[in-house]
Amino acid sequence: MSFPSDAIAALATPVGTSAIAVVRASGAQVPALVTAIFGETPPPRLARHADYKDIAGRLVDDVLFTFFAAPNSFTGEDTVEISCHGNPFIAQRILEDLFARGCRPAEPGEFSKRAFLHGRLDLTQAEAVMDLIHARSERALTAANQQLRGSLGRQMDSLISQLINVLAMVEAYIDFPEEDLPAEDRAAVLRSLAQLKTDTNRLLATSHYGAMLRDGIKTVILGEPNAGKSSLLNRLVGRERALVSPEPGTTRDYLEERVLVGAHALRLIDTAGLNPSPTSLEQRGIEKTLEQAAEADLFLWVIDGTRPLPVLPPATAQRLTPENTLAVFNKADLGGGQVSVPTLPFPTLRVSALTGLGFDQLPPAIAQLADAFQNQVGSEIIAINARHAHALEQARACLDSAATKLADGVDTALVASDLRGTMDAYGQISGKIDHERVLDQLFATFCIGK
């Protein structure tokens, strides 16, 4: 794998006016660059106050700058971070001066890519940097921090170590073909492959939870027209996001808002009422409600507490379980309740969207359901992304193929080929293989300066 030799520079803080902006440069030329600009290269990790003068000697700003010596920097290269006043014009002047002095503009994610190339991060940790930046909830932040500290990398190292032991045993018989693989050894290899598949499946099972952490838990509010769905949305959002009217069927299309509930981020979706006798326009809204319900993670089933319990469409009713549904009986201020709450298999809550009665209990009740989605592998929260899932599915397919061939007595060399395919798939996750196109595509999703 080739290592970059040139110096790169970029703004490390968001574009816009702020108290300070940070410009970062990395590469072997940085010590000479720092000396040329500030007259010295100070000891590493010691912030210095100085005037920044451009290559023509004109004062740009008074700044704080910190030098980080290789390999003890984020990228593993000599690095400097320059903190200037947060005027975008000042930051741009500094960047243009660095380019004039020989740096080039950093590509998206190039600082993190260099950290990976110099062994400062594995791929799972590099991806965790972006998860940390974009975390929308406490639970997402916890998962990103654990992955940044190597939680998924440790899981992959364990799988790779197990696989190496199996592969060594199988390849020993390829090197010594006169010794056939005894039946008892085949059984031992099959047991090892079964354990590898179990551990692989455990990681794959966290894929959906990872999507929920990154995008939010898809929470659909459903119920009959005029049950109070939009009023409940407005209460949870804290503003009048949806129009509310005594006239049934006000909501004809779904509305989506993101909210924090406890440690969780929710994609809260208000839907058209499930009217058993809809107009043609209502029917189109109901069809969209059913589409959203088919993909929901959580349901808030809003029920008019003054009316009999409604009947849900069969396909939607099948999706509702005690683990993913909270039945919210609205209009508690009217003293209604013709339906006996204990007859429902779901957690229930009585509220009044009009007065706010019972709404203090709603967020904790939703959070309790959301807590059950958490996937832990050992003591760590693991939440793989789509790239990890694709590689693990490849690994599982190779393990299945190897086990089938081994059980059928197929040539050992073909079994070893499948196991090497498994190794290659595992290696894609942590970056233990040299696939530069994969790396380029991955780091291109990062922001400039990261």
Read off the pTM: 0.79
Q: How far apart are CA 64 and CA 99, in angstroms?
A: 19
- List the CATH code of the domain at 126-206+381-431: 1.20.120.430
* Residue 330 assigned ligand-binding role: yes
* Residue 271 assigned ligand-binding role: yes
Nearest to 192 by CA among 419, 432, 430: 419
Angle at 47 between CA 46 and CA 50, to 5 degrees: 130
* Residue 120 assigned ligand-binding role: yes
Instruction: Output the CA torsion 150→154→160→164 (10° steps).
Output: 120
Per-residue pLDDT of the chain (450 residues; tens, 9 = 90+): 566 779 999 999 998 999 999 999 999 999 999 999 999 999 999 999 999 999 999 999 999 999 999 999 999 999 999 999 999 999 999 999 999 999 999 999 999 999 999 989 888 998 998 899 888 899 899 999 999 999 999 999 999 989 988 888 787 666 555 555 555 577 888 999 999 999 999 999 999 999 899 999 999 999 898 888 888 888 888 766 655 545 555 555 678 889 899 899 999 998 887 877 666 667 777 888 888 889 999 999 999 888 888 888 888 889 999 999 999 999 888 864 444 454 789 999 999 888 888 899 999 999 999 988 876 566 678 888 999 999 999 999 999 999 999 888 888 889 889 999 999 999 999 886 544 544 565 566 666 666
- By DSSP bridging, strand 255-261 and strand 298-304 are unpaired
* Residue 331 assigned ligand-binding role: yes
Q: How far apart are CA 36 and CA 33, in angstroms?
A: 5
* Residue 5 assigned ligand-binding role: no
In the chain, where the domains are located: 8-121, 126-206+381-431, 212-371
* Residue 239 assigned ligand-binding role: no
What superfamily in CATH does domain 8-121 come from? Probable tRNA modification gtpase trme; domain 1 (3.30.1360.120)
* Residue 450 assigned ligand-binding role: yes
Give helix 123-134 / helix 436-443 axis angle, nearest 10°.
Answer: 10
* Residue 2 assigned ligand-binding role: no
Q: Are 133 and 139 in contact (CB under 8 A)?
A: no
* Residue 226 assigned ligand-binding role: yes
Q: What is the third-level CATH fold of 212-371?
A: Rossmann fold (3.40.50)
